[in-house]
Chains A and B, each alone.
Chain A
Amino acid sequence: MLSGVQRMLAGLVGDFAATVILGVSLIMGYLSFNVLFLIWLERKVSAHIQRRYGPMEVGAHGSLQTVADMVKLLGKQILTPVAADRFVYILAPVLVFLPTLCLASLIPLAGAEAFAEQPYGLLVIIALSGISVLAIFMAGWASNNKYAVLGGMRSVAQVIAYEIPVMLAALSVVLIAQSLNLRDIVAAQARGVPFILLQPVAGLLYFIGITAETNRAPFDIPEAESELVGGFHTEYSGMRFALFFFAEYTNMLVLGALGATLFLGGWLGPWLPGPVWLLLKAYAVIFVMMWMRWTFPRLRFDQLMTFAWKLLIPLALVNLVVTALVLGGGR
């Protein structure tokens, strides 16, 4: 059915344009649905952990509650601080969101197709996730608010520190799969076992890393009532504020899907279609992240940085070296 639509579009606007239009609309459409779903899931998971029900009134078991909240948010007055750097201020939420969108197109959904395939897919992904760091700082700086700048700086430091274990964990997987192409990595798991069994330490490091990168508890100092003041999004209200959270939930999905691809076997699985398996595994990763959020208190910022630099990164390096030695010794 999909290829039929694609052929029809190609007839109208040409092959390349058809792929682009189809890809962007499918991805944006699904990501919008994903955000609604994840917000609902978060509220339900937190509610049941706390022995209550969560949203129940709007829609069956509160399924339409997020829609109602979005409508309310759309109606809110959008305030722009007078002394804010206007262009940067408006650009920042968009720029936080764009790299995630690009990442979404790079993750292979099923054996034959990723929306945009790259021979060095993993490298491109890691490079793109660095851009959102800039955007967070832009948001904090452009707000012209002492505390937003502080929050932005902390966010940047946190993301940079935790991206390194993510990269090193992904590299350990690359060593085993002998390729930076995500499809090859999944194919290697199809031949053998999911890499989580071969690289449990890397899997754990990756998971902790993406929890910190998406600003989830216990690493949510930048976005929680940040002890006393709000974080980099203090001065954002209404739909712009929503865009930051759109970006956060999308990031969770994309990084979760990446983790599923690297460690849990991507689209592999019996009798359900490939993309469904990928999404199931990604949502399982996200579910664990939500479970953690409602269980643990927050880490203090200096403890957070100590944890990354003094524990996770050495552990990731050791894991990489041991993997390399084991693989080299087997030759």
Chain B
Amino acid sequence: MKLARQVWAGARSLLIGLGITGRHLVRRAVTLQYPHEKPDVSRWGGPIELVTFPETGTHDCIACNACTRICPSDCFTIEGARAEGAKKMRATKFLLDFSTCSLCGLCIDVCPTDTLKYSERFDEAMYMRPDTVNDLLVPFAGERIQPPS
């Protein structure tokens, strides 16, 4: 009878479905238990930061403001000064408003000294709006304005 065949086909499809989920039931979970395990972020393009060049041990920002001009979202606030007897300017203030940054990478591409890069940071939650402004010169705080030799 056609009805019996339909019922049997329907029931069989349900059993096949149960078999598939049953197989998954006994297999290991694929999720990462976040606070206890951290993900691999080595290729992640996180908030922008200044490169520390191995030869000089510091960054190479010359405060040319190319990144400020190209940023579509007006994230940068940069000021620079030239030290006594130095040929190039150097950044004295480098703020990046991360709340408007879209991680597009145009600033990295336009920088003439290749001194910007993506970081690997990803858990950057904060409580106050002003905290979203990153001061990129913080890792270089102990430095006086000295041009790279």
Contact = CB atoms under 8 A, between A and B. Distances in A.
Contacts of A292: 18
Contact of A49 (B7, B24, B30, B33): B24
B26 to A, nearest CB: 8
Could you tell me the dominant secondary structure of chain B's interface residues? helix
Contact of A291 (B21, B28, B29, B33): B21
Interface of B: 7, 14, 17-18, 20-22, 24-31, 33
A294 B17 CA distance: 10
Contacts of B28: 51
Given A291-B18, A292-B18, A296-B14, A51 B33 contact: no
Contacts of B24: 48-51
A45 interface: yes
A102 to B, nearest CB: 33
A292 to B, nearest CB: 7
B25 A45 contact: yes
Given A294-B21, A296-B14, A311 B7 contact: yes
A49 B25 contact: yes
Interface centre among B20, B25, B29 (most CB of A within 10 A): B25
A291 B26 CA distance: 12
22 contacts: A48-B25, A48-B26, A48-B29, A49-B24, A49-B25, A50-B24, A51-B24, A51-B28, A51-B30, A51-B31, A52-B29, A52-B31, A53-B29, A53-B31, A56-B33, A291-B18, A291-B22, A294-B21, A295-B17, A295-B18, A295-B21, A296-B17
Looking at A47, A292, A295, A311, which has the most chain B CB atoms within 10 Å of its CB? Answer: A295
Best-surrounded residue of B24, B26, B28 (most CB of chain A within 10 A): B24
Interface string A192-234: 0000000000000000000000000000000000000000000
* Closest CB pairs A-B (n = 3): A52-B31, A295-B21, A51-B30
A51 B7 contact: no
Contacts of B14: 296
Contacts of A291: 18, 21-22, 25
Contacts of A48: 24-26, 29
Nearest to A292: B18
Nearest to A50: B24
Nearest to A47: B29
Contacts of B25: 45, 48-49, 291
Contacts of B17: 295-296
Contacts of A52: 29-31
Contacts of A50: 24
A270 B100 CA distance: 69
Contacts of B30: 51-52
A296 B14 CA distance: 8
B33 A53 contact: yes
Interface string A38-78: 00000001011111110010000000000000000000000
Nearest to B3: A311
Given A51-B24, A311-B7, 7 more contacts: A45-B25, A51-B29, A291-B18, A291-B21, A295-B18, A295-B21, A296-B14
A79 B21 CA distance: 39
Nearest to B28: A51
Contacts of A49: 21, 24-25
Nearest to A56: B33
A47 B33 CA distance: 13
A294 B24 CA distance: 12
A53 B14 CA distance: 25
A292 B22 CA distance: 10
Contacts of A47: 29
A53 B31 CA distance: 8
B116 to A, nearest CB: 38
A195 B25 CA distance: 29
Contacts of B22: 291
Contacts of B27: 51
Nearest to B18: A295
A291 B17 CA distance: 10
Which of the listed residues A45, A49, A291 has the most CB atoms from chain B within 10 Å of its own CB?
Answer: A49
A292 B25 CA distance: 12
